[in-house]
Amino acid sequence: MNQDISLVAVRTDSIWGTVHPPPGFEVPIKMLHVTAGDAASVLETAGEPDAFWTDGTNTPSFKFRVPVPVAPLQFSINFSADSGGESFVSFTKTNLQPGTGPADVRLPRGLGLIAPAKAAAGVSAANEFQWSGPDSSVYVWSLWFAPANMSNTTFGGVVEVVTTQTVARIPRIPWFSVTLQPQGLYSWNVFALGPLRTIDEGAGPSRFAVRGDNFEVARGFQQFVAGP
């Protein structure tokens, strides 16, 4: 059976705008995510500026050329930036439509570890751990330890507290109390996800899931020495 097939050029349009990293952060890496039903691909920024699927600029501005009409494709852009290895910010802008720019994207602020201070000594289970971070976040506070610094376990590991507050204490669990060993060296850090108003709002089968525009913020480890 013979059929005539006509090929036509794919029309394209742009998704463009400007991204504003928080103070002290580098210009973000920009990645275009394309979803079509259950299929998804990630196309990284590389190559010629304003080339099809790419944006090779090293400036706060960005521009991707995408096919139109859009359906069934859905477009989002992930922006990730760091502050010299101390803190990391990732923000995903979703539901972007070609030809409707410019998009003005502002990344959330980074995390700051306040107390105990870096290399603090004499820290005990009674101490509060305090930090600062972006609003509308669920925080995961983590205490990391090695076997030599725990009195009731033979393996290293991590203790985590999930909270919407910017303060946490070492939890008291009846079947697994955490005892800091005198002069033991420990590390702690914080991870933030949002925007979320409550822990329940983000709970799901894969830990936390945020629909729509979302961010992740991480802070590197900070060490302290346990008391007395």
The CATH number of the domain holding residue 128 is 2.60.40
Q: CB–CB of 140/162 below 8 Å?
A: yes
State residue 212's pLDDT score: 86
Residue 161 is which amino acid?
Answer: V
d(CA 94, CA 77): 7
End-of-domain residue from the set 102, 121, 153:
102
Kindly tell me the sign of the dihedral angle through the C-alpha atoms of 12, 65, 40, 9: positive
Give the torsion sign (CA, 48, 51, 53, 57).
positive
Closest of 20, 46, 27 to residue 103, by C-alpha: 20
Say how far apart CA 134 and CA 197 lie, in whole Å: 12
**47-78 burial code (b ≥16 CB/10 A, e <16):** eeeeeebbbeeeeeebbbbbeeeeeeebbbbb
Question: Taking Cα atoms as reference points, which of 142, 137, 160, 129 lies closest to residue 210?
Answer: 137
| 153 and 205 housed in the same domain | yes
Nearest-CA neighbor of 140 among 199, 187, 83, 197? 199
List C-alpha distances in Å: 151 to 53, 187, 227: 55, 17, 14
Picking from 102, 124, 146, the residue at the C-terminal end of a domain is 102
Give the C-alpha separation, 128 to 169, whole Å.
5
Confirm whether 218 is domain-assigned: yes
> What pLDDT score was predicted for residue 155?
43
pLDDT at residue number 150: 47
If one counts the domains in the chain, the total is 2
Burial readout 8-36 (b: 16 or more C-beta within 10 A, e: otherwise): eeeeebbbbbebebbeebebbebbbbbee
Element (DSSP H or E) covering residue 216:
strand 214-219
Q: Supply the pLDDT for residue 68.
A: 80
Say yes or no: 46 and 15 in one domain. yes
Mind listing the pLDDT tens digit of every residue in the chain (228 residues)? Answer: 677 777 767 788 888 899 999 998 988 888 888 877 655 555 544 444 443 455 556 788 888 888 887 677 788 888 988 888 788 999 999 888 888 778 899 999 999 999 999 999 999 888 999 999 999 999 999 998 764 444 444 345 788 899 999 999 988 777 666 778 888 888 999 999 999 988 888 777 666 777 789 999 999 889 899 887
* Residue 117 is assigned to a structural domain of this protein: yes
For 199, the domain range is: 112-226
C-alpha to C-alpha distance for 33 and 178, rounded to whole angstroms: 42
